[in-house]
Structure formats: structure tokens, C-alpha cells
Amino acid sequence: MIHFRGASCSLARRSAPLTLLLMPTDLDIPSDASVALVGGSPDARTALLHLIAHRAAPDAGTVTHDRRVSPIINDERLLHPALTVLANLRFIARAQFLDERLLLRAVDRFCGLALLLSEQVRSLDGGQRRTLETAIVAALPYELVLLDNAQQMPLPAIAFLREAARARGAGLIFASAGPRPARLHADLALLLQGGRLRLESDPGLAASRIEREAA
Amino acid sequence: MSLAVPNEAERLARAASLFRRRQFADAALAFAEAASASPTATLSARAVLGEARARWAVGDAPAARDAASRAASLDPDLVAAPLLLARIAAADGNRAGVITHLRRAASLRPASATLRARIATLLADLGRTEEALAAAREALAADPDCESAALIVARCHLARGNPTLARLAVARLARHHPDHPALVPILGARPPEPRPEQAPPDTAPPEPEPARLAAPTPLRPRAPSLLDHLAIIRACMLRGLAVKYAGNPFWLPLELVRPTCVVGAHWLLFAVLQKSMPGQIPIPLFVLAGFSVWFAFNYAAIGAANAVNHPAGATAWPGVTLTHLRLARASWPLLVNLTFCLLATVPFRLVRADLPVPNLPMTFLVFAVAGAAGIGYGTLAERVTSVVPAFAIAEKLISWLLFVTCGLYFVVYDTTPLIAKFLLYNPLLHLIDFERHAFDPGYPIAYVDLRYPAAFAFSLLLLCLVAGQSVRHPAGAAP
């Protein structure tokens, strides 16, 4: 379980007033399910993922869990643009204490890297880069996988990520601006509305609510 | 024609009367007669459906199926037709057929949770877990209190190997039906009565602000070992080299070109100037010890400060922190200059066999302190500059002062006592003199003390820790 205990979060920018992203929240979120984070602004969803990944601290309260969390896919840069795909994979294998060849094989099985290994990451297009990042994260033994802006991802990639997570008892939390990934790939939904975070057992309903709100 | 409708209604009423009197064979014929004479498709469909029911009642399944199919095609909105077809299919043991007909009926009755729950049950029985889960969720959307749908949700989550979600579904069932007999066999024991705030808020109306939950269970601490940290620093170091040299096979000689040129140029300069050296230390060793230590400190400081500017995705990976990047960026120049410092003495020794062997423990100690001081200085300067950008100018001034007064171009023993007193505040002067002493034991170290630069380095690192703790990383920014 991921425990939110009185956790609140705000966003301060120089050119804008302080924005409250999350009101003080007490919530337990299953960490072994596929959970869609819908509603709220893109900043709020990203901030929530950062809180869960412990990459940022809440303004007040705590966010705790005992899961080994993946990097947030499709949020920030995961690969060095000046390095080749192979050099990036080598670094990840070394830094995550993995066998380089096994990692290569696992990633290749998903996205067919044979032609891309010697390419610089900066020469890949957005779709290729996202797919590559997804494949790498799916191949690594994380207990909780985080994905931001799921609406930009190809649906099969989310399905693959979900299956890979489920196969090892890991959870998947993905933030999405659109309702479709939530409907198709979530067991539960985290609904963020007006700074309030709620757990919905029916992702379809949550997605519909978001659609109605947007309309 | 105006009398056709009442006549038709009479025929239908007579057929229905026969059906109620359980004269099914006669009723079937009466319904068939009424259907053939019906002026509208709706009335005809109802008559054909009556015929189908009567045929089904006498056990003529094929005729009943045929009639029900005709009724469904005559009036697609007639929900009773697919329901009868589902019953006939169920009697045949055709579960897939039942599901098909029930789905058609469910599409005609969007608000019927029972129909959807039935579909979900059948799908779950067939092992089609995902479809069953979707159907059960549709049923719950139509009726949040639908207990059979909640049970199917729990069953599906169990089938998918997800007991947590199964427990949530059971908790939901327990909330609505606390005495439901199905609760016990599902999870082996009756789940505890859930508190209102623990139940999933899965119904449409928003729920009130939940009360504070119980404190979570203690978390498992994860403490990476020292070897893990060293492995990460090595990975970051190799990554930095890969970026810098992009597979160039001459990367190592290229790393040594700069210090070689600098030391060589200063050797020539001092030789031309015929500068006298204290303790008769050879000029090459004097220059080599001075610049190696200075480079080690300076590049360690630059590396530690610049690591924050170019993480390029490294710190996004769990376990890899900015501290690892700082240490990696600082450690490499430290290693290069230490190696250069020791390797460069070899050619001197070939020329002058009387040169003493360098004091290796002291050399390692001096470089360790220089590296620590460099990391501390660079990190602290970067932290302060991030808060007060104007400090960048002061930092340049401090670096320049450290360079000018560290004794690269002069010897503290040749200066006046007053100047020497101020020069000795520079910790690098102490380090450089000790390194010269490590190369040549005759070099005097009367004025310097290694504890001073060590205390300086320790204080800087301590300040870095305090600065690191005091900076809160905003949400959305990597720490």
C-alpha cells in the first residue's frame, strides 16, 4: 500500500501565484494494482507521481511505501541524448547492478533494438524514445512502475507495461489526461478533483466523470 | 380495415387465454394464426413470441428457437425474445450462446444490473476473466449494491492473482451486505468490518472528507552497501568518459596531455629563470607536485559543481543521486592527476637515479584531502550560487586567490614572516608543500601542517551536508 497521511503539495513558480495541487489527504492506494491517475492539471498529476516516487517531498504530511519504484516514464529525460542507445543501456545496467547482456536481450525482445543500438538517443524520434524507455523500465525488477502522460503512449505499450508489472506482482500507476488509457488498462482510478484525491474502484466511471467535467 | 386491429387483438387474447390454461399446443397454433394476420410488425412479433413460448412449453426447442428468432428480427426492441433465446441456449448447454443473447438483451435494458451480473457470472465460469470483470463493473455502475457483481469482481481479481483488489471488492460487499454468506468462502475468513473511510469510494456521489487513517506499518529500510555506492560512482564515471570521448581509443593519453604540457612548460620556465629551490628539490618535482595537487583540487571542485547542471537522466534512475554524480565527476580528475603525478616521476628517475622513491602513503593522503576539499568547495559554491546567484563572482575571486597564494610559483620560506602568516591560511599551500616533501624528504615542512587542510575539507563537507538538508526540492523537480 502507498500511504498518504495528511500529505499536501503546492507548486510555486516565479511568474505565477502559489498553486495548491493537493489538499491534505489521507489515503491508502494499493501498490500492486494498475491505477490510473486522472483529473487535475498536468502539473498536479506529475507532482503526485513525484511524491509517490519520493523525488519530491510534500509540503506537509508524508507519503510512504515500501516498494522499489521505477523512474517516471515519459516525465523527464531518462537517457543521455549524446550517448548511443548501447552506452545508455550499459550505464543503466551498471548503475542498477544488472547483467548488461540480459538487459539488452530483455529490451530487444520488446522493441527490437538491433538497428538502434549504435544510434544516438538524440537522433530517435519521440515515439522511439518513449518506447525504448518503456522497454527498459519494464525489463527492470521494479515493484511499482510510474508512467506520466499515458495519453501520449501507444496503448499496446501501456498494456505491455501492465502485463510486465503484473507478472512479477508489481503495481503500475499512470497519469493520463485522456480517459481511454484509464478505461482500458486500469483496475482502479485515482481521481484528482479540485485538489482532492480519491480512490475509485471503477476507472471507467472516473474517466466518464472527467469527460463530463471537461465537456 | 378499421376492424382488423380489434380482430387481431381478439386472436391474441384467445391465444393468451389458451396459454394461461396451459393448453400450449393449441396456444401455439392460435399465436401462429394471430401472427399471420397481424397488420403491424410489433403485433406480429408479440404473436410470434407467444408462439415461441408455447412451443418451448411443449418441449419443441427447435421450433421455439426459430419462432423466438423471428420475433427478435420482427421487433429488435423486444427484450423478451433474446431472453427466451438465452433460456433455450442454456437448456442446450450453449453458454457462449447464452452470453450472446443476454448481451443483446442487456443492450435493450441499459439500467439492468441483474442482466450484466448474469453475463459476468457466465463469463467468469468460462474463464474469460477480463470480460467478466468489465461486465461486473457495468453491473456495479448500474446498481452499486449489486452483490453478485461485487462477488464476480472479487473472483476475477483472485483469478488474476491480485488479492488486494479482491479484498477491496469484498470489503465493498461487506459494506452493503454484511451478512452475505459468500463472504466467508471467498477469502477463507470473513473480512473485518471496514471503516467507512477504507471502503473504495466507487459510487457516483462524492464522499465526505475521510477521517485520519491508522498509522501505516513500519517500512522496510533499504540501505545500499558501500560497494553498491562505489559501483554507481564507477558507472557514472564511465558514462561521463563515454560522453566526453565518444569511443575515442586514445582517451587516456588525451587525459594526460594537459597536465603534461602545463608541467613541461613551467619546468622550462623555472629552468630558464634558474630559480633556487628549498632543500635542493629538483625543479621538475617541485613543479609536478604543485600542479598535480592544484589540478586535483580544482578539477574536483569544478566536477562537483557542474554535476548538477548536466545529470542528463542519470539521477532519474533509482539509487543514482546527485551526490553520486558529484563524486564521479570529482573522482576522475583526482585519479588522473594522482596517476600522472606518480607516472611522471618515472622518466625523471631514469635521468637522475639518485632521486628518492616518493612517499606513497603521504601522496595518497595529500590527494585524498585535496579531493575532499575540492568536492566540498565545489558543492558548497554550487549550493550557495543556486540561492544567491551573485556569489558566482565571489567564487571566481576566491578560486583565483587560492591559485595565486597556494605556492605554485613561490616558496613560503622565501617570503617575509608577515606575508607567510597570511599565505599559510591557504590550505592548498599546506597540501602542495607536503606533496613536495613526499617527493623529496629534504623539502622543508616546518611551517605547514596537514591537519589544517584536513580540517578545512571536513568543515566544507559538513557545510555541504547542512546545505543539502536545508534545500527543499519542489514537487516536479528532481532532488
DSSP code per residue over B33-56? HHHHH-SSHHHHHHHHHHHHHHHH
Maximum Cα–Cα distance across chain B: 136
Confidence of residue B240 (pLDDT cuts 50, 70, 90): confident
* Helical residues (DSSP H) of B274-321, grouped into ranges: 283-306
Instruction: Give the chain A residue nearest B206 (alpha carbons).
Output: A198
Asked if the Cβ–Cβ distance from A187 to B198 is below 8 Å, we say no
- Give the closest residue to B311 by CA, choosing from A50, A80, A137: A80
- Amino acid letter, A6: G
Asked if the Cβ–Cβ distance from B316 to A46 is below 8 Å, we say no
Higher pLDDT, B291 or B199: B291
CB under 8 Å to B189, separation ≥6 — which residues? Answer: none
B284, burial (CB in 10 Å: exposed 0-12, middle 13-18, buried 19+): buried
Look up residue B319 and give its three cell numbers: 539509487
Q: What is the spatial distance between Cα A213 and Cα B288, in angstroms, rounded to a whole number?
A: 71
Cβ pairs A/B, distance under 8 A: 159
* Helical residues (DSSP H) of B92-225, grouped into ranges: 95-108, 113-125, 129-142, 147-159, 163-176, 183-187
CB under 8 Å to A198, separation ≥6 — which residues? Answer: A27, A190, A191, B201, B206, B207
Instruction: Give the chain A residue nearest B229 (alpha carbons).
Output: A95
Which residue bears the cell 443492450?
A: B107
| pLDDT over 90 at B304, yes or no | no
User: What average pLDDT does range B37-44 have in this prediction?
Assistant: 75
Check residue B264 and give its pLDDT. 86
Cα Rg of chain A (Å, integer): 17
| pLDDT over 90 at B408, yes or no | no
Residue numbers of A between 100 and 139 with CB closer than 8 Å to B:
none
Check residue B432 and give its pLDDT. 92
Residue numbers of A between 45 and 104 with CB closer than 8 Å to B:
46-47, 50-51, 55-58, 64-66, 68-72, 76-83, 87-88, 90-92, 94-97
A68 contacts in B (CB within 8 Å)?
Answer: 222, 318
Asked if the Cβ–Cβ distance from A91 to B314 is below 8 Å, we say yes
Check residue B294 and give its pLDDT. 92
Check residue B306 and give its pLDDT. 85
Q: B196 touching A, CB under 8 A? A: no
Query: Could you give the count of Cα atoms lying within 13 Å of A105 in the half-sphere of its Cβ?
Result: 5
Check residue A188 and give its pLDDT. 86
For chain B, give the mean pLDDT. Answer: 77
Q: What is the spatial distance between Cα B236 and Cα B411, in angstroms, rounded to a whole number?
A: 38
Q: What is the spatial distance between Cα B357 and Cα B364, in angstroms, rounded to a whole number?
A: 14
Q: B329 touching A, CB under 8 A? A: no
Of A65, A69, A205, the CB nearest to B204: A205
- DSSP string for B317-351: STT--HHHHHHHHHHHHHHHHHHHHHHHHHHHHHH
* pLDDT tens-digit map of B89-133: 877 778 788 888 888 888 888 888 888 888 888 887 777 888 888
* Helical residues (DSSP H) of B219-321, grouped into ranges: 226-245, 251-273, 283-306
Of B162, B209, B231, the CB nearest to A94: B231
Q: Which ranges of chain A have pLDDT less than 50?
A: none
Q: B285 touching A, CB under 8 A? A: no
Confidence of residue B213 (pLDDT cuts 50, 70, 90): very low
* pLDDT tens-digit map of B9-28: 777 788 888 887 777 888 88
Asked if the Cβ–Cβ distance from B474 to A188 is below 8 Å, we say no
Between the two ends of chain B, the Cα-to-Cα distance in Å is 86
Of A50, A69, A91, the CB nearest to B239: A91
Asked if the Cβ–Cβ distance from B169 to A201 is below 8 Å, we say yes
Asked if the Cβ–Cβ distance from A30 to B210 is below 8 Å, we say no
Q: What is the spatial distance between Cα B164 and Cα B162, in angstroms, rounded to a whole number?
A: 6
Asked if B133 and A166 touch (Cβ cutoff 8 Å), the reply is: no
Check residue B161 and give its pLDDT. 67
Asked if B89 and B108 touch (Cβ cutoff 8 Å), the reply is: no
Q: What is the spatial distance between Cα B365 and Cα A94, in angstroms, rounded to a whole number?
A: 29
Higher pLDDT, B366 or B354: B366
Q: B172 touching A, CB under 8 A? A: yes
Check residue B202 and give its pLDDT. 37
Q: Which of B243, B324, B327 to mutate: most A Cβ within 10 Å?
A: B243
Confidence of residue B442 (pLDDT cuts 50, 70, 90): confident
| H or E element at residue B29 | helix B24-37
Query: Could you give the count of Cα atoms lying within 13 Å of B377 in the half-sphere of its Cβ?
Result: 27
Asked if A30 and B182 touch (Cβ cutoff 8 Å), the reply is: no
Q: B210 touching A, CB under 8 A? A: yes
Confidence of residue B368 (pLDDT cuts 50, 70, 90): very high
| pLDDT over 60 at B477, yes or no | no
Q: Which neighbouring-strand residues pair with A172?
A: A34, A145
Between the two ends of chain A, the Cα-to-Cα distance in Å is 33
* pLDDT tens-digit map of B154-201: 777 777 766 667 666 666 665 555 444 444 333 333 333 333 333 333
Provide ipTM, 2 decimals: 0.79
Higher pLDDT, B314 or B301: B301
Reduce the DSSP state of residue B422 to 3 states and report it.
helix
Of A64, A71, A83, the CB nearest to B318: A71
Please tell me the pTM assigned to this model. 0.60
Asked if B279 and B440 touch (Cβ cutoff 8 Å), the reply is: yes
Cα B216 from chain centre:
22
Task: Give the range among B133-147, B205-219, B342-356, B399-413 with minimum mean pLDDT.
Answer: B205-219
Q: B165 touching A, CB under 8 A? A: yes
Long-range contacts from B453-457, C-beta under 8 angstroms, 24+ separation: B453/B369, B453/B370, B453/B373, B453/B427, B453/B428, B454/B369, B456/B373, B456/B427, B457/B369, B457/B372, B457/B373, B457/B376, B457/B427
Check residue B223 and give its pLDDT. 57
User: What average pLDDT does range B240-249 have in this prediction?
Assistant: 80
Confidence of residue B478 (pLDDT cuts 50, 70, 90): very low
Q: Which neighbouring-strand residues pair with A184?
A: none
A130 contacts in B (CB within 8 Å)?
Answer: none
Q: A43 touching B, CB under 8 A? A: yes
* B22 φ/ψ sector (left φ>0, alpha ψ -120 to 50, else beta): left
Higher pLDDT, B169 or B139: B139
